[in-house]
Amino acid sequence: MSYPEPRYAGETGQVSAVRRPAEAPAEVVSPEGGTIHYLATQATTEGDFGLYRLDMAPQTPGPRAHFHRSIAESFFVLAGTVTLFDGQRWASSQTGDFLYVPAGGLHGFRNDSPEPASMLLLFTPGAPREEYFERLGEMVRHGGEELAEFLVRHDTFFVDAEGDPRPV
């Protein structure tokens, strides 16, 4: 394996870093009190990756088992306890635990604990996940074909108990 082809041909480097202070407000605040912070979006990284911090209120349900066809997703627990699904079982995951899910890998997450929890979500390559985070609640309330189209557009395919893909 080798390094990718160079994307910068200059000799002196450039001022191009993007800093996000810890005190920056969350971009998404859920009615349940959870937040999503956009640390590095697809636009910021020119499609290389997307990095988000998800802060979950106690007893917050997350997405049931699902997969993505075009993106890998990684989870790193920053604080608290998050229940992660690795395609075979749901496991209580503590601060410092990590889960990598390649494209096509079944996964899910939730906060079953009575305490808040926080984790990083990393999508590679970068995908435009912001609309997904911002509109998912609204789309779930609408349901039906509108929700199904929204999920497919955002590369999210839920599975039933038998493992058959279904976009709702």
pLDDT, tens digit, 9 for 90 and up, residues 78-124? 999 999 999 999 999 999 999 999 999 999 999 999 999 999 999 99
Domain enclosing residue 38, as ranges = 28-127
Contact by Cβ (8 Å): 77, 121: no
Does 164 reside within a domain? Answer: no
The whole-angstrom separation of Cα 79 and Cα 86 is: 19
- Domain assignment present for residue 154? The answer is no
Instruction: Give per-residue pLDDT as tens, 1-53.
Output: 899 999 999 999 999 999 999 999 999 999 888 999 999 999 999 999 999 99
What CATH number is given to the structural domain containing 55? 2.60.120.10
29 membership: H or E segment, kind and range: strand 28-29
Number of domains in the chain: 1
Residue 5, in any domain of the structure? no
Confirm whether 152 is domain-assigned: no
